Amino acid sequence: METIKIGIFGLRRGATFIDSIKVCNGEIVAVCERDEKLIAEVKNDLPKNTVFFTDFDSFIAHPMDCVLLANFFHEHTPYAIRCLEKGIHVLSECTASSTLAECVALARTARNSNAKYMLAENYPFMLFNQEMKRICDGGTLGKIVYAEGEYNHPMDWYDTAAVRSIRPYETHWRNYLPRSYYITHSLAPLMYVTGARPLRVSAMAINDPLPADCPTLSHVSDIAAIITTQNSDGSVFKVTGCSAFGAHGNSYRFCGTNGQIENLRGMGDTLMLRYNAWQVPEEMKEVNCYVPDWNEEDREDAAHAGHGGGDYFVIRHFFDCIRNDTDPCFDYRFAACLSAVAILAHRSILHGCQPFDIPDFDKDEDCKKYENDTLSPFCYSDGTMPTIPCCSVVDYAPTEEQTVAFNKV
């Protein structure tokens, strides 16, 4: 098996892929990271000849086949473009783009590059989602007409250490993250299982301000975005983006004309597969509850990988595409569509639930419409500040009491 030479940009998330890269016969030849503490933590896990950089352009000048982009959530696109222009394959962490202009630029560059682009979205590869795809593809549920995706990630706002660890300073992206923007874990599995592409989106927010005395610098008081999409196959999806109501977990449901399948909330990998009483397939029951299993090839490697085995499959699929010169399932079209749904869902919230059409970034007319649309709720590393509100309550900001609590040692 051909060894894939890969560079990692950003160790905080990138380091979690090290074991999967090794298992899939990848060699980490370069790392770009400024935090010496992070480097020290993983140095013994890397090959002795791994070269370390603090400058991205010097990093991608080092010989490598591909780059894993694991830098800030909202700053992937400019680096992806620089890699693609140099013919370096790109595996980009989520999300692909933070503005519609970036979606356009990414799509244009990817189309004209001989390198491959893949979004490192791992939730579709979780065991229960792979099993639900198998069932839906098998056809016994009939036509899939409706699906739900929920990614629920609440936290204890009084746990100062936890809050500071993922939101260390005021302009950090998490403090300005609209609830619709981290949509990949809720929407991507639905697109993966059904093959449908969202064409139109509308959304509304659930607003519940944070406790007045909790330690936070967050500018977002929404706890969820409830998002609906109309899709290319006539189906409708309902997803939450990244929500913060109880309890923690992710769940998915696919409803067909003959029945439905869903993973049971709080029950691990357990699935419930149900059929209409008059449409039960042979050797099946009307209601079937079971835990699927990995095949022999994947069982051990997937069991030790993060995100329910998803991190392993992301690396394996990406490396297979490079070795076999095939297209990734989560290519630039898939990635740009996800980003556009996230961006326009938030715009829908800010405009009273107004629906928006999702651009097709392979169409020149759609690209021209959005090529200069740089509206963003984020603060960027180059000093660029937000140009739209990040919350449905547009003037929401952390209180003085919250700020004091956050900064208290």
What pLDDT is attached to residue 319?
98
Say if residue 144 is exposed, middle or buried (CB neighbours under 10 Å; 0-12, 13-18, 19+): buried
Calculate mean pLDDT across residues 156-179.
96
pLDDT at 300 exceeding the cut of 80: no
**Residue 73 pLDDT level (bands cut at 50, 70, 90):** very high
What pLDDT is attached to residue 306?
65
pLDDT at 311 exceeding the cut of 80: yes
Domains of the chain with CATH codes? 4-122+319-324 (3.40.50.720), 124-293+332-370 (3.30.360.10)
Say if residue 387 is exposed, middle or buried (CB neighbours under 10 Å; 0-12, 13-18, 19+): exposed
Calculate mean pLDDT across residues 305-310.
74
Say whether pTM exceeds 0.85: yes
What CA dihedral angle connects 330, 331, 337 and 339, to 10 degrees?
A: 80
Tokens of residue 303, six digits: 């069991």
**Residue 298 pLDDT level (bands cut at 50, 70, 90):** confident
Calculate mean pLDDT across residues 274-289.
97
**Identity of the residue numbered 166:** I
Calculate mean pLDDT across residues 84-96.
97
What pLDDT is attached to residue 110?
98
Collapsed DSSP state (helix, strand, coil) of residue 392: coil
**Identity of the residue numbered 26:** G
pLDDT at 249 exceeding the cut of 70: yes
Calculate mean pLDDT across residues 21-41.
96
Collapsed DSSP state (helix, strand, coil) of residue 204: strand
